Structure formats: structure tokens, C-alpha cells
């Protein structure tokens, strides 16, 4: 059984590949890659293919050559700030990349496909369920909304077996991004004051990456659960603002205090949480435990991010 993972060097993709390779033959599609000990370890033992998910011919050849039976589609431009600055590239990757991937899967009759979506497709909504309407907002969220509609269209039109999970904000060993967890943890490890953005009043729901990849694997491979098809919200109830996150991390660094700063923020969703009316699931990790483990792993791979 051969599995294709797109976006295999990202936060979720690298952890998913690292998990799947112990029970499956994994083809890792690489596009953007910053060489690092972690990525080398995560992808070791997998078939590594360099290319762009928008390249339909490449994706189709990979699926055919390696006899791929399941696909996890995680490749995306996932930064709200990046989408604000360069919406064309974000739409091309998130929308056209998904069309390329799904069409290749359809033509090659892939057994099952998972396309990962974000909670942001629901817009400004607390406790959004799978039945709630999609709300266009900033470019990243809207590109993912288009991605979901296209995926649902393929599932309906061609009777494809596709699961479409919606994840809340993911944290874990994320060495090279500028999100709140890596920025805060890196600053603390270096003995610097982490920043709390006084003009950022947004509230987000979080999930630990190890919990997420456990569930994604189950949705595709768990025998006896053909119900894993269609849209599912993945919710934890771990809801915090940016100040609370920084203070949670600081509990692991006695003596350090935050600094309060004001900075430019692109237009973005302010309050977003989900719940599921379809999925009976709870995270294996506790939030504080997961924060501690994330800090531990950032220390373990400190040489990676310090040289970047």
C-alpha cells in the first residue's frame, strides 16, 4: 500500500509522514524545503519527489508510477500575512493545486483522498458546526473555502471517496514559520522577551500536531469506519488569545517577562472556534502537556532554527 503526502515538509506534513512511514510506503511530495535535521529524519525512508502540486502531469505520473492508493493533500500557502501580500500565488496554489491533485486522483482511480481544510472558512463564528455556511473573508480563508467547494464537487460528481477535515490552528515542532508558538518559544530559549501584540485581540482554537496526525491517519485507514467521508470539524476546545498563549509558554521559563508591542496586522478573522456534530473524538494530549513537549522539541532541534 503506497500513500502520497503533499506538503510533506510543512508542520503537519512532516509529522504525518514521520508517522505513516512506519506502517506504509510513503511518497513525499516536496516543493519548498529548508534543509534541517528534523525534515531529514521525518522523510527518511520515504520516496522523495520534488515538484509542484499544480503540475498535473507530475502528480499523475507519481500516482501511476508508485501505484498510490491513498492521498493526503496538505500542500497549501497557509499564511494569512502572505495571502494578504500575494493573493494570486495563494489562490493558484490552494485552488489550482487542489484541482490538479483531484483530477489526477480521479483519472488514476485513487482509492481514498483526504483534503485538509481550515476552520477559517466559517468566518467570524464561535462553535461553527459542519452544517454552518461558509463565509468568504480574507484571501487565505477564501482560497480554502474554494478548495472545499471544489473537493465536494469532485466527491459528488465522480463518486470519489474523499474526507474533508477542518482543522483549527495547529502547533508543534514548526521550526521555520513566524507563527505565535515558534516565535515565542524561540525568543524564550534565547533568553529574550517574547512579544505580546497589544493590538491583536483575536481568539483562536488550537490543536497539537501529534493529535491531528493521529486523527488524519484514522480517517483514511481505520477499518470499519466507512463513515469517514465528507466534512468533519476537528475541535479541541483549547481556545486562547495571543496574550494567553505567550503567558502559557512563559510558565516554562521562570524569570522571563513579555514585552507588549504594537505592530501592523493584516485584516483577519478575530473570533473563530468550532465544534463537531459528526465526530466523536478527543485529543490524546493535554494542552499544557503539549506546550511542554513542543518546547522540549524546539530545544532538541535548536541547531536547525538558529542557523536558518
Q: pLDDT by residue (tens digit) across 45-82?
A: 999 999 999 999 999 999 999 999 999 999 988 677 77
Q: Do 202 and 242 form a contact (C-beta atoms < 8 A)?
A: yes
Q: Where are the alpha helices (DSSP H) in 159-208?
A: 180-189
Q: What pLDDT sits at residue 114?
A: 97
Adjacent-strand bridge partners of 113: 71, 162
Backbone angles phi, psi at 175, to 5 degrees: -70, -30
Point out the residues of the chain with pLDDT beneath 70: 33, 78, 83, 223-227, 308
The C-alpha atoms of residue 79 and residue 89 are separated, in whole angstroms, by 11
SS3 content of the chain, % helix, strand, coil (to 5): 40, 20, 35
Please give the model's pTM, rounded to 2 decimal places.
0.95
Q: What pLDDT sits at residue 226?
A: 53
Q: What pLDDT sits at residue 308?
A: 62
Q: From its phi and psi, is residue 276 left (phi > 0), alpha (psi between -120 and 50) or beta?
A: beta
Q: Do 189 and 303 form a contact (C-beta atoms < 8 A)?
A: no
Domain boundaries, the chain: 2-170+206-234, 174-205+238-307
Architecture of the CATH domain 174-205+238-307:
Alpha-Beta Complex (3.90)
The C-alpha atoms of residue 54 and residue 6 are separated, in whole angstroms, by 11
What tens digit of pLDDT does each residue of 162-193 get? 999 999 999 999 998 889 999 999 999 999 99
Q: Where are the alpha helices (DSSP H) in the chain?
A: 11-20, 37-43, 56-65, 80-85, 87-91, 97-107, 139-158, 180-189, 209-221, 242-250, 287-300, 302-307
Same fold, 2-170+206-234 and 174-205+238-307: no
Q: Sign of dihedral through CA atoms 94, 31, 82, 269?
A: positive
Q: What pLDDT sits at residue 270?
A: 86
The C-alpha atoms of residue 230 and residue 162 are separated, in whole angstroms, by 6
Residues contacting 25, CB < 8 A, separation 6+ = 1, 2, 3, 47, 66
Q: CA of 200: how far to CAs of 156, 185, 206, 264, 270, in Å?
A: 40, 19, 17, 9, 8
Architecture of the CATH domain 2-170+206-234:
3-Layer(aba) Sandwich (3.40)
Q: What pLDDT sits at residue 176?
A: 87
Burial class (CB in 10 A: 0-12, 13-18, 19+), 75: buried
Q: CA of 307: how far to CAs of 26, 36, 95, 109, 240, in Å?
A: 29, 10, 33, 43, 31
| Structure-block grid coordinates of residue 123 | 468566518
Q: What pLDDT sits at residue 34?
A: 73
For residue 114, the surrounding DSSP H or E stretch is strand 112-115
The C-alpha atoms of residue 14 and residue 149 are separated, in whole angstroms, by 26
The C-alpha atoms of residue 18 and residue 9 are separated, in whole angstroms, by 10
Amino acid at each position: 500500500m503506497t500513500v502520497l503526502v503533499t506538503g510533506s515538509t510543512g508542520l503537519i506534513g512532516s509529522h504525518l509522514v514521520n508517522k505513516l512511514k512506519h506502517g506504509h510506503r510513503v511518497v513525499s511530495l516536496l516543493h519548498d524545503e529548508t534543509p534541517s535535521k528534523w525534515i531529514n529524519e521525518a522523510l527518511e525512508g520515504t520516496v522523495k519527489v520534488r515538484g509542484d502540486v499544480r503540475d498535473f502531469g507530475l502528480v499523475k505520473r507519481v500516482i501511476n508510477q508508485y501505484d498510490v492508493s491513498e492521498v493526503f493533500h496538505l500542500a497549501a500557502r497557509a499564511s494569512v500575512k502572505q495571502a494578504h501580500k500575494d493573493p494570486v500565488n495563494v489562490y493558484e496554489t490552494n485552488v489550482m493545486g487542489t484541482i490538479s491533485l483531484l483530477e489526477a486522483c480521479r483519472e488514476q482511480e485513487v482509492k481514498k483522498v483526504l483534503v485538509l481544510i481550515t476552520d477559517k472558512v466559517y468566518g467570524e463564528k464561535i462553535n461553527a458546526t459542519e452544517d454552518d455556511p461558509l463565509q468568504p473573508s480574507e484571501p487565505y480563508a477564501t482560497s480554502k473555502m474554494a478548495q472545499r467547494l471544489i473537493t465536494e464537487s469532485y466527491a459528488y460528481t465522480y463518486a470519489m471517496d474523499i474526507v474533508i477535515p477542518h482543522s483549527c490552528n495547529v502547533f508543534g515542532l514548526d521550526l521555520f514559520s513566524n507563527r505565535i508558538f515558534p516565535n515565542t518559544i524561540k525568543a524564550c530559549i534565547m533568553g529574550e522577551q517574547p512579544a505580546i501584540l497589544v493590538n491583536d485581540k483575536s481568539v483562536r482554537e488550537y490543536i497539537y500536531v501529534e493529535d491531528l496526525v493521529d486523527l488524519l491517519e484514522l480517517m483514511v485507514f481505520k477499518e470499519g469506519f466507512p463513515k469517514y467521508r465528507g466534512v468533519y470539524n476537528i475541535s479541541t476546545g483549547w481556545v486562547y488569545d495571543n496574550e494567553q498563549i505567550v503567558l502559557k509558554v512563559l510558565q516554562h521559563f521562570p524569570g522571563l517577562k513579555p514585552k507588549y508591542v504594537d505592530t501592523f496586522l493584516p485584516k483577519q478573522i478575530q473570533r473563530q472556534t468550532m465544534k463537531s456534530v459528526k465526530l466523536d473524538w478527543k485529543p490524546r494530549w493535554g494542552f499544557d502537556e503539549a506546550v511542554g513537549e513542543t518546547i522540549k522539541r524546539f530545544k532538541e532541534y535548536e541547531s536547525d532554527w538558529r542557523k536558518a
